[in-house]
């Protein structure tokens, strides 16, 4: 399901801004909705780092930023996993143990058509993407999101 907002207001102040939802309605999530989200995903990892730096410059609020990224590939760096944007730029990632399952790894196929929803954060070793979900053309029977949206 998706929520359509017919009327809303934005409270004043610095980001993150609060939104007051006045009139909303629920409707079915369509693959075209997912396609639009994936099409708007970040493809350059340097942009994710820039967003995190901008967030860290604000002295109040969470020190992380939600992002949607479409990596070129998943790579191993020593005993860690990273996403790569095709220009040689890598970003370390963490994901739930269940994502090491071959079925889930198969969803992260060739680039295009899918993306990772995650949280950009500053770890002890530097910027890191904490993966929360996969969206798009995942090639599995349960739909366009993993884990499934209820």
Query: What share of the chain in percent tops pLDDT 90?
Result: 53
Burial class (CB within 10 angstroms; exposed 0-12, middle 13-18, buried 19+) of 93: buried
pLDDT band at 15 (very low <50, low <70, confident <90, very high): low
Is 80 exceeded by the pLDDT of residue 61? Answer: no
- The pTM of this model reads 0.85
At the top level of CATH, the class of 32-146 is: mainly beta
pLDDT band at 33 (very low <50, low <70, confident <90, very high): very high
- At residue 150, the pLDDT reads 55
Phi, psi dihedral angles at 38 (to 5 degrees): -65, -40
């Amino acid at each position: 399901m998706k929520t359509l907002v017919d009327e809303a207001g934005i409270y004043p102040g610095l980001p993150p801004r609060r939104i007051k939802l006045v009139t909303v309605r629920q409707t079915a999530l369509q693959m075209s909705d997912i396609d639009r989200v994936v099409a708007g995903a970040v493809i350059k990892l340097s942009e994710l780092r820039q967003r995190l730096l901008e967030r860290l410059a604000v002295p109040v609020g969470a020190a992380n930023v939600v992002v949607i990224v479409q990596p070129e590939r998943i790579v191993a760096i020593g005993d860690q996993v990273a996403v790569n944007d095709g220009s040689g730029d890598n970003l370390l990632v963490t994901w739930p143990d269940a994502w090491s399952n071959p079925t889930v790894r198969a969803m992260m196929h060739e680039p295009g058509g899918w993306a990772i929803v995650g949280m950009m954060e500053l770890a002890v070793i530097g910027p890191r993407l904490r993966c929360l979900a996969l969206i798009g053309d995942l090639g599995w029977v349960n739909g366009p999101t993993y884990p499934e949206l209820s």
